[in-house]
Amino acid sequence: MIDLKKIHKLNSKSDFEKFIKKHPIDEPVYIGNYLFHYLIIYNKFKTLKMSSHPIYKENDEGMAGVHLAAKIGEEIKNYE
């Protein structure tokens, strides 16, 4: 199992590269969610820009990155 706090702490390119060596960017990290899903949830858009990623891929709920961002924004009433 992955420690989701590690995703939240990804700030540098070297941290990001180490992380994706263990958890490839094109494979789900946890419960059908890909790394970019968690980067969106944690508002880590600078980290999201560090690599190309398949944001069109859906998680187990059938949500792509844009849909997930909209859902989270609606839940927390913050659309930034």
Q: Tell me the per-residue pLDDT of 2-58, one tens digit each, with 9 for 90 and over.
A: 777 888 888 888 888 888 888 887 788 877 788 888 888 788 878 877 777 667 778
| Confidence category of residue 67, pLDDT binned at 50, 70, 90 | confident
Length of the chain: 80
Confidence at residue 79, expressed as pLDDT on a 0 to 100 scale: 59
CB 35 within 8 A of CB 23: yes
CB 20 within 8 A of CB 6: no
| Confidence category of residue 78, pLDDT binned at 50, 70, 90 | low
Pairwise CA distance, residues 52 & 15, whole Å: 16
